[in-house]
Structure 1
Amino acid sequence: MLLTIALLMTILLNVWTIANSFFLPNLQKETAVKDRPKVSLLVPLRDEIEHVTELIRCLKAITYANVEFILLDDHSEDGTYEALLNETSNDPRFIIIQGHPLPEGWNGKVHACHQLSQHASGDYYLFLDADARVSPSIIERSLATLQKRKASMLSGFPHYPNHHVLSHLLVPLQHMVVFLHLPLAVANFTRLPAFTAACGIFIFIERKAYDAIGGHQAVKGSLVEDVHIAREVKKHGFSMILCNITDGVVSYMYDSSKETWEGFKKNIYTGIGRSPVMVVFLTSLYIGLFLFPFALGVYGIVSGQTAYFLPFLLTVTFKMYVDARTRHPLWLSWLLPFSAALLIALLFASMMVHLRGKSYQWKGRSYE
């Protein structure tokens, strides 16, 4: 009976994921864009000196002509501002600004993005994280996708070339969560705010829609401002599309396993609405889908009953499909039980910070 249940669950897992993935479009390959609107590419930086040189080199390679680059140093203490000035001194497309002190009630990155928007003059804004690298044609491809889909906002989760144990196990799960939990047909073909996702590493938005929702000021205290901006866009009657951007955007998201843990802990509980019920539900789901088949597989190996290994193999094929679509190493799929266990631990660790009335810590700042 247990084997039958596990087989049914993991078969359905694969069928759902493959079917759901058909509604996650890739960015357009062609770069023909109507009217060539002006784009403001906006990057907030806080203590990002190790990324400055490669970031600027990447931005300088962008082929879209009607673009301005505005980069904001948010009170860095590692020489980021001076490095930005040095790397961009001979390119008039770049504007380097220094951020104002963080006001009460604002998230640091949200405030930085708000200031960037106040200096921007484009018809579209592209908010990009300092650890991201984009292909030279990324603006043309994104605009072509928006125009084809008649959307006002585009976002997606980039490819993550990880170099640390926890980042290998956790960061690619962002793609898995989208394929597993988000009905992409509803997310991409309706304006229902509850069904959406976005990634703050890469947000491409029409200025008209951005202004209509009140910009970043409308989500000033949010720790998951990317999702909340996407919801506001839909609430105001605009279309938002989530795309597979992994062939055009790369993100070196975390520099260490410790930073990976702290970054996920800061966001994960807020991302599920700070709901203990959701923590219990997701824990039960991940135990049932990923840890239970793994336990059966171990039992099958020990007992010599190879049929018990099949549900685990089906979880591997599920993760392998997701990793293949998002350009991650296929060997990661065999470690899915460990990734799921870490994700469960993070859910509880993040929840306990909130329940104990403590603050989340990130880059020298505290967040409630």
Structure 2
Amino acid sequence: MAFFLTVISVLLLCQFLFTIWNMKQFPVLKPASFSPDERISLSILIPARNEEKRIEACLQSIVDQRLYPKEVVVLDDHSTDQTRAIVERFSQTYPWIRVQSGRVLKQGWLGKSYACSQLAEATASDWLLFLDADVRLKRGAIEAVHEQLCTQKTGMLSGFPEQKTGTFFEHLVVPMMMFTIGCHLPVKWVRKSKNPAFAAAHGGFIAIEKNCYHDIGGHEAIKDSLVDDMALAKRVKEQSFPFTLASIHPFVYMRMYESGQEVWE
């Protein structure tokens, strides 16, 4: 019995040490170190359905940036609340923000993938940055992203924002995302290996270069995937495009849920 407990303890210690080491392998999105002489066009694309509680803060965090994207397109996916009206109010002050009406869901598609596909059709920018409505950008975020994308040239960038929590169930569940990644997915292999098994992404923040996006088939290629962010990341790696999974918490934060009920659902 003592031998068995010793083995278990050693294994747990190894797992603990691996997790600490593994978490330190995440590349961290850093402040821009240069004035962006090399310019890439960047479109921020936000699918939104009944997001009146979240969309205003999301858009405000974008217009508070020092460097603006080429455009912000919000897809109003048949909202029944004030989502559209809030976006239109922003567009009166910032003409590069616009709202687009979502089409009726096609058979065989899941909702978010279809919304993102429509957003991608609506822009011709060099890079597409898909954000969820509950994502907030801190000061300097677009400059930092811009520098990373200029360096990377093509492929995909995704990352884990700082997670804000309030209720007991949020404290219990939300940290499990990073815990799962840290314990089981070798972060170095995500960057270096072409094997799609070593892929992870956060659907709230995905930047993808337009040629890469079209070459992998866009969201149409993953239209029925329940975990669309992971499916997109795997296709990027399968086609040997550069893929970066980063810690973006210095510049991006979000609160995924605002009650125990939302966590449960």
TM-score bracket, shorter-length normalisation: over 0.9
Superposition deviation, residue 9 in structure 1: 2.2
1:245 maps to 2:251: no
Equivalent residues of 1:159, 1:249 under 8 A apart? yes
Matches within 5 A, 1:217-366: 217-262=220-265
Q: Secondary structure at the match of 1:89?
A: helix
Asked if the contact 2:68/2:142 (under 8 Å) is kept, the reply is no
SS in 2 for 1:49: coil
Deviates more, 1:20-29 or 1:196-205: 20-29
Match of 1:71 among 65, 71, 74: 74
Correspondences of 1:194-209 after superposition (within 5 Å): 194-209=197-212
SS at 2:31 equivalent: coil
Partner Cα distance (1:166, 1:46) in 2? 24
Higher relative contact order (CA 8 A, sep 6+): 2
Residues of 1 paired with 2:28 and 2:264: CA distance? 29
Q: How far apart are the structure 2 equivalents of 1:14 and 1:150?
A: 36
Q: Secondary structure at the match of 1:260?
A: helix
Unmatched runs of 5 consecutive residues or more in structure 1: 263-368
Percent identity, please: 35
**Partners of 1:113 and 1:216 within 8 A in 2:** yes
| Count of aligned positions | 262
Question: How does 1:129-168 map onto structure 2 within 5 Å?
Answer: 129-149=132-152, 152-168=155-171
Give how far 1:195 is off: 0.6
Match of 1:47 among 38, 47, 50: 50
User: Using the alignment, how far apart are the partners of 2:120 and 2:198 within structure 1?
Assistant: 26
> Which secondary structure does the structure 2 equivalent of 1:197 belong to?
coil
TM-score by length of 2: 0.93
How far, CA to CA, are the matches of 2:193 and 2:37 in structure 1? 25
User: 1:247 corresponds to which letter in structure 2?
Assistant: P
Change (3 A) 1:130 1:154: same
Partner SS, residue 50 of structure 1:
coil
Q: Name the counterpart of 2:214.
A: 211
Helix, strand or coil: the match of 2:88?
helix
Q: Tell me if the contact between 1:23 and 1:188 (Cα under 8 Å) persists in the aligned partners.
A: no
1:31·1:137 contact (CA, 8 Å) conserved in 2? no
Structure 2 runs not aligned, ≥5 long:
none
Distance 1:51 1:181 in 2: 32
TM-score (norm: length of structure 1): 0.68
* SS state at 1:43 partner: strand
Amino acid at match of 1:20: N
Bigger helix fraction? 1
Cα deviations across residues 295-319 of structure 1 (Å, max 9, x unaligned)?
Answer: xxxxxxxxxxxxxxxxxxxxxxxxx
2:117 counterpart SS class: helix
**2:25 partner SS:** coil
User: How far, CA to CA, are the matches of 2:234 and 2:25 in structure 1?
Assistant: 19
* Larger strand share, 1 or 2: 2
Aligned to 1:189: 192
Q: Report deviation, 1:3.
A: 3.8
The residue identity in structure 2 corresponding to 1:26 is: V
Displacement of 1:97 in angstroms is 0.8
Alpha-carbon shift at residue 79 of structure 1 (Å): 1.9
Q: What are the equivalent positions in structure 2 for 1:84-99 lying under 5 Å apart?
A: 84-99=87-102
In the TM superposition, residue 142 of structure 1 has moved relative to its aligned partner by 1.9
* Inter-CA distance 174–125: structure 2 relative to 1 (3 Å threshold): same
1:36–1:66 Cα contact (<8 Å) kept: no
Aligned to 1:30: 32
Alpha carbons 2:31, 2:143 under 8 Å: kept = no
Report deviation, 1:108.
0.6
Distance 1:85 1:65 in 2: 18
For residues 13 and 194 of structure 1, what CA distance do their matches in structure 2 show? Answer: 20
Matched residues in 1 for 2:53 and 2:17: separation? 42
| Alignment counterpart, residue 4 of structure 1, candidates 3, 6, 12 | 6
Looking at structure 2, the residues matched to 194 and 258 of structure 1 have their Cα atoms a distance apart, in angstroms, of 33
